[in-house]
Amino acid sequence: MRLLSLLTTALLVGLSAATSSAGNSVLVVLEPKLSREQFSIFFDGLESKGYDLTFRAPKDEKPVILEDDIPAFSHVIFFAPTTKNFASDITPQSIITLLENRVNVLIALSPSTTPLSSLAAEFSLILPPPNTPLISHFPSRPHPPTTLAITPQNTPNAPILSKNLGPVLFKGISHAYGENPRLVPILKAPKESFASDTESDRGSESIADAVEKGGEGLWAGGSMGVVSGFQTVSGARVTWVGGVDVFGDEFANAEALEGVKSGNEQFSKDVAAWTFQESLVLRIANTSHHLLGENYPRDHYTTKDEIVYSIDIDRFDAKTSTWKPYSGITDLQLEYTMLDPHIRTALPPIKGAPGHYSVTFRAPDRHGVFKFVVDYKRKGWTHLHSAIVVPLVPPRHDGYPRFLSSAWPYYAGAISTSIGFVIFSALWLGGDVREKGKGKGKKAE
């Protein structure tokens, strides 16, 4: 009976385990103006997955985020959009340190200028001038112009958001994108929206003139984002949200358009799932290389060898909290490099072997220190990088072929000369070379 109770407890613990591949501890920095009850749907949803939430105010000293540069939590949520003064352990540099230690961060902004908003520029996000929220007068909806109903546009190759997601209610600021390839747009502003310090149409003529002139410096249109992600070199994820109300109960229970319920509840879950590395998470399980016909790696290869390179890739399954082989990558490539790629070839999945990718290629006729490099970077997905250094050497002195088909004319010439020399020598040595004697019957004159 006791054993059954222990097994039941272990099963319940397993079912309640967090679905993140990075851990289940979450620190929520919540400013005093906001209450936990305002975001009960969002926070309860995280706890139902198994996340362990810890709350603190921005000016509280404990619990600390970092102690001796060691993170105390796996994820951090900053719901302090208007806070200008934080405790000593919350600084832009400490947030960078968190990301370097693979701690995932979710940051909510506001039209006010704060230390968190000043950090956005480090992630190639360009914020509008202070106190200029995003507004739109279209389409008609039961909300003020500062509350927008945005229809999500999911990226087919990186499905961060759920399918058939309803319009998302948004209130806050937008941002323009820099040229950093690590940016991941999640929710973009509507085409008819623009940033303004007033809800009226005053100054609309100047806006139209700016559009006709190219719109330089104009915070308007669908090129802006309102929710964006960023993947760091260390593998951490940080998500910037233009307004904290996106996660609130008010928007989750409201109608985005007349008769259409908002998709904020599911949208908040999807954003948190991507930020906390539940979705679109890959890892390299194994890599190998060997000669064709062998099954063990060598410490070096010879020019023109037939080499087989293989890699195994797993994808994290949040439903079971396990890693499973993943064969869904169709554009994976292998580079055989020495400073520059000498060979770049496709690395296709092998049928019948889940998660296994393999390719066979011939080594170039150039010796040196080469690397097998796999560098897979796609927006929204975990970046995969693998580099294995293996020298490529020329053949040994006994490794070259002894006879070349193209050299047969030279072989025939050498052989015929040798045979002619032998025959000439034999005839010379074996022939009669005596001189004829003088006749006996002749007298000397």
Which one-letter DSSP state was computed for residue 213?
T
Rounded to 5 degrees, what are φ and ψ at 308? -110, 125
Rounded to 5 degrees, what are φ and ψ at 9? -65, -45
Residue 336, number of CB atoms within 10 A of its CB: 20
How far is it, in rounded angstroms, from Cα 154 to Cα 162?
8
Strand partners, 286: 312
Residue 429, number of CB atoms within 10 A of its CB: 8
**What is the phi-psi region of residue 92: left when phi exceeds 0, alpha when psi lies from -120 to 50, beta otherwise?**
alpha
Same CATH fold, 282-393 and 2-275?
Answer: no
Contact 360, 348 (CB under 8 A): no
List Cα–Cα distances, 51 to 36, 66, 115, 128, 245, in angstroms: 16, 19, 27, 34, 21
How far from the centroid of its chain's Cα atoms is residue 321's Cα? 20
Work out the widest C-alpha separation in the chain, in whole angstroms.
154
> Which residues are CB-neighbours of 38 under 8 A, at least 6 positions away?
248, 249, 250
CA nearest to 347, candidates 363, 364, 361, 337: 361
Per-residue pLDDT of the chain (445 residues; tens, 9 = 90+): 344 443 444 444 444 455 788 899 999 999 999 999 999 999 999 999 999 999 999 999 999 998 888 999 999 999 999 999 999 999 999 999 999 999 999 999 999 999 999 999 999 999 998 998 998 887 777 788 889 999 998 766 778 999 889 999 999 999 999 999 999 999 999 988 888 876 655 544 555 455 454 444 457 788 899 999 999 999 999 999 999 999 999 999 998 888 889 999 999 999 999 999 999 999 999 999 999 999 999 999 999 999 999 999 999 999 999 999 999 999 999 999 999 999 999 999 999 999 999 999 999 999 999 999 999 999 999 999 999 999 999 998 777 777 778 888 988 999 999 999 999 898 888 876 565 555 555 544 4
- What tokens were used for 142? 């039961």
How far is it, in rounded angstroms, from Cα 268 to Cα 247?
6
Contact 383, 231 (CB under 8 A): yes
Rg (CA), the chain: 36
Q: Is residue 151 helix, strand or coil? A: coil
The packing angle between helices 40-49 and 264-275, to 10°, is 50
Contact 195, 219 (CB under 8 A): yes
List Cα–Cα distances, 303 to 281, 316, 372, in angstroms: 37, 39, 15
Q: pLDDT digit string (tens) for 80-126?
A: 999 999 999 999 999 999 999 999 999 999 999 999 999 999 999 99
Q: pLDDT digit string (tens) for 326-338?
A: 999 999 999 999 9
How far is it, in rounded angstroms, from Cα 81 to Cα 64?
20
In CATH terms, the fold of domain 2-275 is Rossmann fold (3.40.50)
Which one of 1.10.287.1080, 2.60.40.1930, 2.40.50.70, 3.40.50.360 gives the CATH number of domain 282-393? Answer: 2.60.40.1930
Domain boundaries, the chain: 2-275, 282-393
Q: Is residue 328 helix, strand or coil? A: coil
One-letter-per-residue 3-state SS of 163-212: CCCCCEEECCCCEEECCCCCEEEEEECCCCCEECCCCCCCCHHHHHHHHH
